[in-house]
């Protein structure tokens, strides 16, 4: 399925169908809160000092939830 570049206009429905995604996903824009950017910098600092630390130890060190630490580390 190729997108027709010569067409002057394609509706979102047609475009989504050609791409094989839902119409909602055409508008999706991931957002990273500013507090997560700050936390990522802190996590990188801890990781630089302690190479063997995983998400659980980093969470313990920064006193945050381990799920949040893992989510921010994956960004």
The residue among 75, 33, 70 whose CA lies nearest residue 58 is 70
Name the nearest CA neighbour of 44 among 18, 19, 63, 69: 69
Tens of pLDDT, residues 1-12 = 566 666 677 888
Q: Which two tokens stand for residue 50?
A: 């302690």
Residue 22 lies in a domain: no
Q: What is the pLDDT of residues 11-36, one digit of tens each?
A: 888 889 988 999 998 888 877 788 88
State the pLDDT at residue 32: 74
Counting the structural domains of the chain, the total is 1
Residue 75 lies in a domain: yes
Selection from 68, 20, 14 nearest residue 42 by Cα = 68
Q: Which domain holds residue 42?
A: 31-75
Answer yes or no: is 52 within a domain: yes
Q: How many residues does the chain have?
A: 75
In a domain, 51, yes or no: yes
């Amino acid at each position: 399925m190729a997108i027709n570049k010569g067409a002057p206009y394609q509706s979102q429905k047609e475009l989504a169908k050609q791409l094989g995604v839902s119409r909602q996903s055409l508008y999706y824009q991931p957002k990273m809160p500013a507090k997560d950017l700050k936390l990522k910098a802190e996590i990188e600092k801890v990781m630089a000092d302690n190479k063997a630390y995983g998400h659980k130890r980093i969470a313990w060190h920064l006193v945050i939830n381990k799920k949040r630490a893992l989510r921010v580390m994956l960004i």
